[in-house]
Structure 1
Amino acid sequence: MKSAIAKRLLSSSIRRWNKFPLIITDEVKQALNDKVLPVVSLESTIITHGMAYPQNLEMAQKVEQTVRDNGGIPATIAFIEGKPHVGLSNEQLVQLAEKSRDKGMVNKVSRRDIGYTMARKLYGGTTIASTMILSHMAGIKVFATGGLGGVHYEAQSTFDISADLNELGRTPVAVVCSGPKSILDIGLTIEYLETQGVCVSTYNDDNRPQVQIPGFYTRESGIISPDQFQSFQEIALALHYQNNINSGSVICVPIPKEYALPSSFINELVKNAIDEAKRLGIQGKELTPFLLQTISNATAGKSVDSNISLVLNNAKIATSIAKELLIADQPSITTTTKSKITKADVAIVGSVAYDTISKIGSATKLGDSNIGFIQSSIGGVGHNVNLACQYSFQSLSKSKSDLKSSQLVSIVSNDLPGSSILNELEGKNMDSTSIKVIEGGKSTAQYVATHDEQGELIVACADMSIIETDFSSHIINELDRLGPKVVVFDCNLSPKVLNKVFHSIRKKGDNKPAVIIEPTSFIKSSRIASIDQTVFPNNVISLITPTRAEMESIHKSFTEKEYFNDFDNWFPILDALGISADFREKLNALSRKPDYKVLSDLLSNGDLQRSFQLLPYVQNILLKLGKDGLFSLSISETVQDYKSIPTASPYKPKFMLTSFGQKVSPEKQLGIVMQYFPIPPENENLEIVNVTGAGDSLLGTLVAKLVEQNDSYNWLNSELISVEQEWHKWESIYQAQISSGLTLMSNSAVSEEIAKVIK
């Protein structure tokens, strides 16, 4: 059986061409395999033979960014030292653009030139024909370009007909363009395409009753379009059926009105340019670049501006069509491949790692080999939280129909640990389509730890550098696709990635999910401060789950970032929460009582004071106190209602304290709710095996319980809607602690027993 890593990296269409040395970027491979993000091909002759440096490079970069901005993956196609590349790095784009400055340094590659270019190890810019060929080899179905090649004037005697037209008749790739280039005989070009059996249609962007084929620089050419469409869905459906008969398609997109040039003006320029080419004896592959340059000179560069605008517009529309084509192709995909999660209640964004855990005996000698027990498994904070969440869902569900779902969004490398991770997930029937796979560069995350006989950590080494790479676009796309109610982040992600993803979440406004952050470690918890913060009630972060050490680190980083000096936004919220001198004196008085020992510790160590200052930015804090349990702090807009909460629940906190701050309406009053939850009796005197995933198990179950029922039970909200909402919170925290205890007694990073006992 082929490994999961091979399945992930190679689509069937790529394997068919394994004798052809096609080089496909990791990003494009991933997208083609997952069939979630659309891939759009881009030609490279526009870089190498269409524009001068550096304008060619700027244009190429803008086109790729346009595809990305519209939710797709760009795949610029070219030959680098004789090797056909599908997808170029920015360095390769620069290299190709710079080499085009010297005439003859880059070959213009159509179908006939492929073998020659490869044999001579040349650089090559691909025409529409060769771009279609390489796109089809890679499995890409949509290709965006500027103008279509075609039948030149007087082709009856010169036989000057672009190879693009023949290619369209035999290669099932859709070419999104602005019609045939203005230098061509557009009527004969359309006739020739009909002979080749090519579907030619025009996107009717303004609901005109009768649509003409656009003429590249112009919106109309005088030639009526054979077909027209007014929606991308219709276009995609037509492409779906056309591809099944192995025939290409041309989708013509009129140039945006503000960049269109008058037809009469362009026609006169084309006639003069053709006459000049005849006089100079220019023909063959040199003719088109000459004609375009002549027109550019005659329009003082306006034609180049029009060219760039239409290419960008075509890239945008091609991406939209490619998105719809993924959907149109879906029925044929689902008959042959395992179904994938398309929506999830919870998304966990963070690390997945290959864990190696050792446990050594009492007779330990440093600097030497020690006898012990070694076990390998999948770990990483993100994976562990996701696994605990899934186990909890299994236990909570009453039937398959009401089973909630969670999805891990992460990244691995194409190496042995990465392959092992994907194989194991596949073996457990766990969906891994949101895990990005890369080749080369960073290694898959690994965690190696040594524990003593009691399971306490002695030393550990963590290589999580791959998680800190910028894969923010993958995360954003996956969150958009999954549409989760709750998103959990671990702080293995880099500050840069966290900020980009949070910016995307903010843009969702009232539709944004609840966001929970697991600080991960003392050092990495400071990354929370790197996120651009907003205060209650506009904060993006709904909950953080730090240890006391992590709380100290978070507070210190917020102080250094001067968040506590924001007297326009932060201070008014803090001031409105009712942390008055009288309230502080009340806390001090209670802390001297035996039942409030935890409160005394939190006050003396400054944990409570730090939490108060952080609340305007994070709204809810669940402070992990180890063997002493959990301490919850939350901002409430209905704090007065907590006076009447019944405490008959077996899961009630040991004590609950509230501050009473500013009244915001007759029914609402701001304040802080503090609750202490000791460890459950079941967690006392546990035989601890390891402590690696205890906190992750706690959070995974907590999140599963959070989305277990409808939104009225979401206790992360600042309003107390019902008694059931608060009781559900108490039960959730209790069950999360049970989950943590089960993992403490397990050799696994997350105990499978969670799937049986959570209720």
Structure 2
Amino acid sequence: MGTFFRTAHRSRLPSGRATFAALGRRSLTNNGFFRVSEEVREALHAKKPVVALETTIYTHGFPYPENVALASLLESVVRVNGGVPATIGILDGVARVGMDPEELIRLTESAGKSTTLKLSRRDLSYVCGQRLVGKNFNGGTTISSTMLLAHLVGIKIFGTGGLGGVHRGAESSMDISADLTELGRTPVAVISSGCKSFLDIPRTLEYLETEGAYVGTFADGRKGDVDFPAFWSRDSGVKSPTTVENEIEAAAIIHAQHSLNISSGLHFANPIPTESAIPKETMDVVIEEAIRQANASGITGKDNTPFILNKIKELTQGASIPANKALIESNVRRATIVARELAILESKQEGAQGLASPAFNPIWSSPVPTSEDTLSNSSPSSRPSSSQSPIAPSEPDIVVAGALAVDFSCDYAPFANSSDPLEPVPHTSNPAVVNQTLGGVAHNIAKAAHLLGASVQLKSTVGDDLSGRAAISQLEDEGMDTAGIHTLPKPARTAQYVAINNANKDLTLAMADMKILETIPFPKLTEMLALPSAPKVLVADANWDSASLHRWLALGRNRGGTTTVFEPVSTAKALRIFPSDLKKSESDLYPLVDIITPNERELTALHNHAYKMRLFEAPEWFGVIDALGIPSSGLRVPLAHTTSPALVDAGLPQQAIKLLPFFPTILTKLGPRGVLLVQMLKPENPVLSQADEARHVLSRCYNGSKEVGGLYVRLYETEVLGKEDVVSVNGCGDTFVGVLAVGLGSGKGVRECVELAQRAAGLTLRSAESVSPELRSLRGL
């Protein structure tokens, strides 16, 4: 997929419809004590699932560089499960919600230094205020301060390790964690593995009840009442106040809490994974000995917990450390799934109120049903049940055959001192902002056509996996036709596409796993090819294997009145348009397809392949080129006038002309330079006699050919967007093709469709989505 415009970066602020939390976020961002990362700010604005992560575990729990590895792991867990991580901490006296890799490394490197503090709610104003008098502190935030800072920006979910609690003997020492009082006044949901078992768990639960904080424990498949967990052990011997079946139930509880404007927090206890748990009986003995040593040494107050944890590490011979890592990773994963389910619920609520359309939330790791399924089973919905037929128009005007995939966009985010501030460094890990959406070339093309109101059917396949089910679910939510989506059994996997973009968000490298289309069984392909009637337009992308691709194109050619369009996808896959056995298929080469839409690299690859295969030496090819009537003096000067000298020097229009016998219309996407149209006109085409088009008709047929009337060449220049306007290049070329297909399906000629397709591609460039929802504004144009 070629880029269509020059790409750059744009920051976005909350819109005029921003919530109170968003307005507060804008104010805090500008006051010098508080900073929200751009990624977190944009994610909250786009209502993506965001998960808060604390930093005390990095500054006071694990030494450097183990803490760096853990920080990277937990952020990756959030991203892989469909969320955006918001790591919260204090750096140089500034509270930060969301840290880039360089900031995380600076904080983790400072672990153990006297200027790196453990910060609760009470400490925030102190450490930030000291910056004004020249004393810069770093700090790891505890549960209480992380909850507070997360709430200030509107983050509702927080994944952490263990909850603080009431210490043993608190009736005389009054040693009660600030985490508990924070849960009584800050509406953030905390997912942890319960209290560390050296605390007084019954009194902790009693205190939380007094504070009005909800407490529930995930059942993990267990029936009936379950124990509240004890950090390293799945059971504590104390029954949990309530039991939560799965992430959907947790999200529903959180959604209700916020809808009711209840200002207290929620605690969801997630038992440590079974394989990593230490038996309660073993831990009871270890903890009693650790507490005995703490009492004998006179350790109290804030020093008590670190001392006991160190003793537990010693007494378990290090077994508590991998258990710590396993439980916090499990908690962060579960927190992300809960955040994702909450985003689905909130999106549906807004959709029902006419405020927003549902967003794509792929289900990466959870085998439980989504909240979409739960809602559709309990109330009327436009989503079909398993006994109903999928959404489908009876006879689509446009059929798009090709890839439906999960897209990952990785935007290089270099450190300030990076050796290359533009391009990612090969052979090593690079800091990046990673986003995922529903994509695939054919999907993007079909979605663009759908948004313009066209009757379109996507023909594709998905695997019988979570990603495939989520993809179909999203198509249904958008009201798109799903009758053409076929599910293949395992080991088939739903297609995936990974784009690596540089700091300007120009594509540096892309990796695609589209094998599901390349290995589709012949009977299944035959079933997919069965169309009730001839569509007006058939678009095929190059993700099919060569034989399947040509069956799709032959279907279009053999159904009279269908315009066929080929999207090359990449330089390697573009060559599939040429039959693998040219000698047996020579009669079918002229033409192979009505219209192709390459970028300049794909155009050059097609030209070079045809040259290598000696296709330019065939008598049939020469007969078409001769009929164009190109003068013996050549076309260099008129080409330079109707396109540009730079394009002629690069040989692009010349390459396109040589390919016209195979592809009578070639629309080459040139990024910020526009779109180059090179077209072989039929003898009856009225353009040949129109005065306002004369400068673009560079040659005419004089040998009486019934198929060739002349050569049309035109460069459609486009608006070049500024860096501040471009969000993502992914999907803009596909948007162009989708809108082109709509124009062709409505009876327009190619020349009439290009400028509107360019305008649509510009809207996608301004959008974080692979196809801009703003395309709806172009309906009727």
For normalisation by structure 1, the TM-score amounts to 0.59
In 2, Cα distance between the equivalents of 1:157 and 1:537?
Answer: 84
Structure 2 letter corresponding to 1:134: L
- Contact 2:165 2:177 (8 Å CA) reproduced: yes
Aligned partner of 2:365 in structure 1 is none
Aligned residues with identical type, % of pairs: 29
State the partner residue of 1:476: 436
Q: Aligned AA for 1:107?
A: L
Determine the structure 1 residue equivalent to 2:207: 192
Equivalent residues in 2 for 1:278-427, closer than 5 Å: 278-330=295-347, 333=350, 338-340=355-357, 342=359
Structure 1 residues 5 and 551: alpha-carbon distance in aligned structure 2, compared to 1, 3 A threshold: closer
Distance of aligned partners of 1:82 and 1:630 in 2 relative to their CA distance in 1, 3 Å threshold: same
Question: Which among 165, 170, 182 is matched to residue 155 of structure 1?
Answer: 170
Listed one character per residue, the Cα deviations across residues 704-728 of structure 1 (whole Å, up to 9, x for unaligned) are 35368xxxxxxxxxxxxxxxxxxx7
CA distance in 1, matches of 2:293, 2:413: 51
Output the amino acid matched with 2:168: Y
CA distance in 1, matches of 2:190, 2:578: 48
**Within 5 Å, which residues of 2 pair with 1:42-121?**
42-102=53-113, 104-121=114-131
- Separation (CA, whole Å) in 2 of partners of 1:52 and 1:136: 29
Structure 2 counterpart of 1:368: none
Q: Find the partner of 2:192 among 177, 185, 194.
A: 177
- Does 2:301 match 1:268? no
Partner of 2:749: 735
**Per the alignment, in what secondary structure is the counterpart of residue 476 of structure 1?**
strand
Q: Distance in 2 between matches of 1:115 and 1:503?
A: 49
Report the CA distance between 1:264 and its aligned residue.
0.8
The CA deviation string for residues 314-344 of structure 1, in whole angstroms up to 9 with x for no partner, is 1111011011112223466568884347489
Is 1:703 the counterpart of 2:738 in the alignment? Answer: yes
- Contact 2:739–2:757 (Cα < 8 Å) also in 1: no
CA drift at 1:284:
1.4
Structure 1 unmatched runs, 5+: 345-401, 405-433, 443-463, 518-524, 565-570, 632-652, 656-675, 709-727
Query: Structure 1 residues 544, 321: CA separation in 2 closer, same or farther (over 3 Å shift)?
Result: farther
**SS of the residue 1:222 aligns to:** coil
SS, match of residue 685 in structure 1: helix
Distance 1:484 1:224, change over 3 A: farther
Task: State how 1:421-570 maps to structure 2 within 5 Å.
Answer: 476-477=436-437, 479=439, 484=444, 486=446, 498=507, 502-503=511-512, 528-529=570-571, 545-546=597-598, 553-554=604-605
| Change in CA separation of 1:608 and 1:338 when aligned onto 2, cut-off 3 Å | same
How many angstroms does 1:220 deviate by? 1.0
Report the Cα offset of residue 438 of structure 1: 13
Tell me the residue number matched to 1:411.
Answer: none
Q: Secondary structure at the match of 2:344?
A: helix
Change (3 A) 1:90 1:680: farther
Cα distance in 2 between the residues matched to 1:13 and 1:603: 52
Residue pair 1:151, 1:160 contacting (<8 A) in 2 also: yes
The answer to whether the Cα contact below 8 Å between 1:343 and 1:484 also exists between their aligned partners in 2 is no
Distance between the aligned counterparts of 2:578 and 2:603, measured in 1?
A: 24
AA of the residue aligned to 1:66: V
User: Any conservation in 2 of the 1:8–1:34 contact (CA below 8 Å)?
Assistant: no
Count of residue pairs brought into register by the alignment: 547
Q: 1:77 to 1:611 in 2, by over 3 A?
A: farther
Amino acid at match of 2:277: A
How far is 1:533 from its partner?
9.0
SS at match of 2:272: coil
Q: How much has 1:435 moved relative to structure 2?
A: 13
Mapped contact 2:665–2:677 kept (Cα < 8 A): no
Q: Could you say if the C-alpha distance between residues 7 and 630 of structure 1 is closer, same or farther in structure 2, counting changes exceeding 3 Å?
A: same
Change (3 A) 1:515 1:127: farther
Which string of whole-angstrom CA distances, capped at 9 and with x for unpartnered residues, describes residues 229-258 of structure 1? 222111111111223211200111111111
How does the TM-score come out when normalised to structure 2? 0.58
Distance change (3 Å), C-alpha of 1:161 and 1:485: same
SS in 2 for 1:503: strand
Structure 2 residue runs of 5 or longer lacking an equivalent are 1-9, 132-136, 362-395, 399-407, 449-496, 529-538, 544-566, 581-592, 636-650, 670-674, 697-713, 721-730, 765-774
Name the amino acid aligned to 2:281.
Answer: S
Q: What is the Cα deviation at residue 158 of structure 1?
A: 1.5
Q: Measure the CA separation in 1 of the matches of 2:130 and 2:210.
A: 35
Is 1:12 matched with 2:20?
yes
Deviation by residue 1:473-522 (Cα, 9 ceiling, x = unmatched)? 66533649x96454899x996599757765377789989997589xxxxx
CA distance in 1 between partners of 2:756 and 2:506 (Å): 33
| Cα deviation 1:326-380 (Å, max 9, x = unaligned) | 2223466568884347489xxxxxxxxxxxxxxxxxxxxxxxxxxxxxxxxxxxx
Matched, 1:654 2:682: yes
Q: CA deviation at 1:219?
A: 1.1
Of 27, 34, 49, which residue of structure 1 is paired with 2:46? Answer: 34
Q: What's 1:133 paired with?
A: 148
Corresponding residue of 1:143: 158
What does the per-residue CA deviation read over 1:568-600, in whole Å, with 9 as the maximum and x for residues that have no partner? xxx9xx99xxx798x9533255247535769x9
Aligned to 1:630: 679
Q: Is the 8 A contact 2:11 2:38 kept in 1?
A: no
Partner amino acid for 1:477?
A: T
Give, in angstroms, the shift of residue 7 of structure 1: 2.7
Cα pair distance change 1:628/1:137, threshold 3 Å = closer
Question: Is contact 1:472-1:501 (8 Å) kept?
Answer: no
Shift of 1:68: 0.7
CA contact (8 A) 1:147 1:179 kept: yes
Q: How big is the shift at 1:105?
A: 2.6
When the two chains are superposed, the root-mean-square deviation of aligned CA atoms in Å is 5.7
* Inter-CA distance 678–125: structure 2 relative to 1 (3 Å threshold): farther
- Answer whether contact 2:251 2:342 (CA < 8 A) is retained: yes
Question: 1:185 Cα shift?
Answer: 1.6
Letter in 1 for 2:597: T
Name which structure has the greater RCO, CA cutoff 8 Å, separation 6+: 2
Name the CA shift for 1:91/1:337 in 2 (closer, same or farther; >3 Å).
farther
Deviation of 1:310 (Å): 0.9
Give per-residue Cα distances to partners, 1:530-567, cap 9 Å, x unaligned: x899968999xx996247x75564469xx8xxxx8xxx
1:167 and 2:182 correspond: yes
Residue 590 of structure 1 corresponds to which residue in structure 2?
623
Work out whether residues 143 and 176 of structure 1, in 8 Å CA contact, stay in contact via their aligned partners in 2. yes
Query: How far off is 1:269 after superposition?
Result: 0.8
Shift of 1:694: 10
Conserved? CA contact 2:101–2:431, under 8 Å: no
- Whole-angstrom distance in 2 between the partners of 1:588 and 1:311: 66
Residues 141 and 174 in structure 1, CA contact (< 8 A), matched pair in contact too: yes
DSSP 3-state at the match of 1:217: coil
Asked if the contact 1:14/1:138 (under 8 Å) is kept, the reply is yes
The one-letter amino acid of 1:110's match is S
After superposition, the C-alpha distances for 1:71-121 in whole angstroms (9 at most, x for unaligned) are 11101111112211101111111111111133x331111111122211223
